[in-house]
Amino acid sequence: MAEEKIKIDLSGVPQTLLLPLLGRAQFSKKSYSPIQDDKAIELVNSLDFDFAKLLKTIGHFTGAWWIARAWHFDQAAKAYLNLYPNATIVNLGAGLDTTFYRIDNKKLTWVDIDLPEVISLRN
């Protein structure tokens, strides 16, 4: 039996959280992607949303930008965690960011902060 998809009701600014999520998920499926964001793929597959409509609003290279941005943030966070493995990272405007799942060293404390409707969806 297939799992029921999570219905989302976002508009305006909160809906923009889907753009980087979709970009990371799309590029993570490619063999040449600098990161593999399995959590992003899982989230896109679990949401009841017309991503095809969203894809029409962005170009092919927009997804490349999102994956490059994620890679750079991952590198910076990993370098910081090498120096301070017990750090606390506060992710402001977290959206559906999945960085934690890619860099978790099992010692860091991660805090996501965003608009109430976004945090509700994250939960």
Domain boundaries, the chain: 6-122
Q: What CA–CA distance (Å, rounded) separates 23 from 18?
A: 8
Structure tokens at 31: 């063999």
Structure tokens at 6: 């999570």
pLDDT level of residue 1 (50, 70, 90 thresholds): low
pLDDT at 97: 94
Q: What is the DSSP letter of 113?
A: E
Global pTM reads 0.85
Q: What CA–CA distance (Å, rounded) separates 13 from 82?
A: 34
Asked if residues 44 and 8 have their Cβ atoms less than 8 Å apart, the reply is no
C-alpha distances out from residue 37 to 3, 66, 115, Å: 21, 12, 23
Beta-bridge partners for 92: 113
pLDDT per residue as tens digits for the range 13-65: 777 888 899 989 988 988 898 999 999 999 999 999 888 877 777 776 787 88
How much is the mean pLDDT over the chain?
89
Q: Which fold would CATH assign to domain 6-122? A: Rossmann fold (3.40.50)
